[in-house]
Amino acid sequence: MFDNILMVCVGNLCRSPTAEILLRHHLDRADCTVHSAGLAARDGAPMDATSMKVLAAHGFDGGNHAARRLDDALLSEAGLVLAMEPSHVEAILARAPHTRGRVMLLGRWLDERPIPDPFGQQRPAHEHVYSLISDAVEAWLPYL
């Protein structure tokens, strides 16, 4: 059983915070920390406004999110790292080869489906990504 799960995307503004919020909700376990970070995040940046609106439409609040850049400490502490795209997995493994076996795609159980970046796009793109993330999170639940 994993007690520390890290979601990773690029900016930690749309995808990884959405995945963090959804997985934390579905797991609802006090013994498991779920958090997120970005490969190129600007520390302290708020969640993307459109992603927050989509979350709110589904009953979730992303207002307390503050982006943070992925660092070695986060990678060392995480028992499972779930990235949005294959390039994210590659970047993490290049940076921290010791994480091999703990870094996987969020879409692993959905035919390794990547989760595209909706940043800067209109709301329909964010809704689509929310749906992909929701499906991927639910597909992970039996394994967590």
Count of other CB atoms within 10 angstroms of residue 139 = 15
Say how far apart CA 54 and CA 104 lie, in whole Å. Answer: 25
Question: Which residue is catalytic, options 9, 14, 24, 48?
Answer: 9
E runs forming strands in the chain: 4-9, 33-38, 80-83, 103-105
DSSP state of 64: T
Whether 48 is catalytic is no
Whether 14 is catalytic is no
Whether 32 is catalytic is no
From the list 135, 43, 37, 138, the residue with the least C-alpha distance to 78 is 37
Say how far apart CA 83 and CA 36 lie, in whole Å. Answer: 10
Strands 4-9 and 33-38: parallel
Question: Which residue is catalytic, options 32, 69, 113, 117?
Answer: 117
Catalytic positions, please? 9, 15, 117
